[in-house]
A and B are shown apart, each in its own frame.
Chain A
Amino acid sequence: MTDVLDYPATEQANKPVKPGIVDCDIHPSSSSFEEFKPFLSKRWWDHLNTYGMFVRQGFKEMLAFPRMQAEVSRLDAWPPSGGPPGSDLDFMRQQHLDPNGVEVGVLIPLRLNSGSQRNIDFGQALVGAVNDWQLEKFCRPEKRLRASIQIAPEDTPGSVAEIERRADDPHFVQILLPPRNGDPIGRERFWPIYEAAVAAKRPIALHVGGVAGHPVSGGTGWPSFYLEEHHSQVQTMQSVIISMVVEGVFERFPALKMVVIEAGFAWLPALAWRLDAQFERMRSEVPHLKRKPSEYIRDHIWFTTQPIEEPDRPDDLTRAMEWVGYDRLMFSTDYPHWDFDDPAHAIQVKLSDENRRKIFSGNAKKLFNLGQA
């Protein structure tokens, strides 16, 4: 921790606040696995304590690429109560929800590596526990917070069952699908999950997390540095978008919506241009696609803003936003992680009042149907 002698409580009091923002990426955390015990059967609680997590990497207690800061977090986000950042609801209110004018915050739980389990019954038990835990620890005590239906997609029927189990609960606004799996997520074996998502009227949300067992570089081998791993979110999301489009998922499920979280968006135009150009040449290979790849992308995919690109020339970002569409961008902070975007400072391009409203709240309210919540 730091060497500062005293911390005035008013540090953010004079910050300009835009009330009523929707933050599409808040990471809740736990002080210990004990928090999940009430939501696990004795069988799986014993399993967790006896065998632990099965994560496909060399380290048991940490990630393969040591993060820039402990718990991937802002140094000032450690709650006085002693747990890790994101584990103390009161502190989250005091440091983030209140001063930053968060009207609705969407939780993205990354704890327990549920989606990384190869023991799929164990994975389903963990998923259920994480979903119950979000409700009881965060959403019921704090009306501003919404949950994500975490699923473990290696078990397709189990994932469908979990989605159906949560579908009637308005606290859950999206389905959190870890994008790094045994197969690209456009493959047909995942399609029942998309069918269930459409039936539940929830978008599929993609946020990297867990340990897939593959190099994060996307097939080029293991990178050396956290900087490389941090950037690999872009490669992952590009691969995922290509898979979803080319396998024909959006053709098969025209009502399916997808949210790409924490991977930027300024790269999207180039990806779409290339896909469109090759599609014209190879159309006969993928006759199941009826439209250009860019059309599926524009119709079906939303992007959260953090960590927003910071080009030397702000106009470059404006052009990217115009291509992606002001109705497809949703503000996010990534609180309490270190690369947090502050709503008062992060987006440093000129926005009309209308576009600002769309990005900071309107698009998310519409996508998540928050008007009725």
Chain B
Amino acid sequence: MSWHVVAKVGEIEPGTSKVVTVRGRELGVFNVKGDYYALANKCPHEGASLCKGRIIGLAESDEPGHYRLTRQGELLRCPWHGWEFDIRTGQSWCDPVRTKVKAYHVKVETGEEVEKLGDKSKGPYIAETFSVSVKDNYILVDV
């Protein structure tokens, strides 16, 4: 593992990403509200280029007709089948098989609380993640 400069600070606006290739791997480097994260640019489901997906929030509901959008800008939605991934961790939040079960047990939590819920609400896939740090106004990725 070693650090690689992938962009200058300021180059990636909050809410956007940049696709880079480091040691043969294609990564997406994201600016989420000023913090930087990197994900492999390949959906673990069927291999789509994840970074062509939309950056979205988490839609939640207690009952039909009442919806909340939380964690705006913190999730990435695959451009093909819509699998949702937490940009910070690569954890998937969309599992078609368990959607019904999840809806049945839903309770209202803030975005931070949702992160603490653990495996019961998480999908089966985890996108490969890479740590990112900012040194001297450059963005580096550890690959």
Contacts and interface: CB of A to CB of B under 8 A. Distances in A.
Interface in B61-111: 79-82, 96-97
B46 A346 contact: yes
Interface in B1-38: 11-13, 15-19, 21, 26, 28
A5 B16 contact: yes
A312 interface: yes
Interface residues of A, number: 24
A4 B17 contact: yes
Interface in A308-332: 310, 312
Contact of A68 (B13, B18, B48, B82): B82
Select the residue from A5, A6, A69 with max chain B CB neighbours within 10 A.
A5
Interface size class of B (residues with CB under 8 A): 20 to 34
A76 B48 contact: yes
B81 A338 contact: yes
Contacts of A344: 47
Interface in A337-359: 338-342, 344-346
A253 B21 CA distance: 58
B81 A5 contact: no
Interface stretch (A7-15, A20-28, A175-183, A261-269): A7-15
B26 A2 contact: no
Contacts of B52: 2, 4, 7, 75-76
B19 A341 contact: no
A2 to B, nearest CB: 5
Interface in A189-248: none
B10 to A, nearest CB: 12
A3 B48 contact: no
Contacts of B15: 3
Contacts of A340: 46, 80-81
Contact of B51 (A4, A310, A312, A341): A4
Contacts of A342: 46-48
Interface string A61-94: 0000000110000111000000000000000000
A344 B48 CA distance: 11
A94 to B, nearest CB: 14
Interface string A150-169: 00000000000000000000
A21 to B, nearest CB: 15
B54 A75 contact: yes
B47 A74 contact: no
Nearest to B18: A5
Contacts of B26: 8, 11
B133 interface: no
Contacts of A11: 26, 41, 49
A8 B19 contact: yes
A241 to B, nearest CB: 25
A95 B26 CA distance: 17
A345 B18 contact: no
A310 B53 CA distance: 22
Contacts of B82: 68-69, 338
Contacts of A3: 13, 15-17, 55
A328 B82 CA distance: 29
B80 A339 contact: yes
A292 to B, nearest CB: 33
Nearest to B15: A3
Contacts of B21: 8
A5 B47 contact: no
A344 B42 CA distance: 13
A345 B46 contact: yes
Nearest to B11: A5
B54 A74 contact: no
25 contacts: A2-B53, A2-B54, A2-B79, A3-B13, A3-B15, A4-B16, A4-B19, A5-B12, A5-B17, A6-B18, A7-B19, A7-B52, A11-B49, A68-B82, A74-B80, A75-B79, A75-B80, A76-B79, A310-B96, A312-B97, A338-B80, A340-B80, A340-B81, A342-B46, A345-B47
Interface of B: 11-13, 15-19, 21, 26, 28, 41, 45-49, 51-55, 79-82, 96-97
Given A4-B18, A15-B47, 18 more contacts: A3-B13, A3-B15, A3-B17, A4-B19, A4-B28, A5-B16, A5-B19, A6-B19, A11-B49, A75-B79, A76-B48, A76-B49, A76-B79, A312-B97, A339-B80, A340-B46, A342-B47, A342-B48
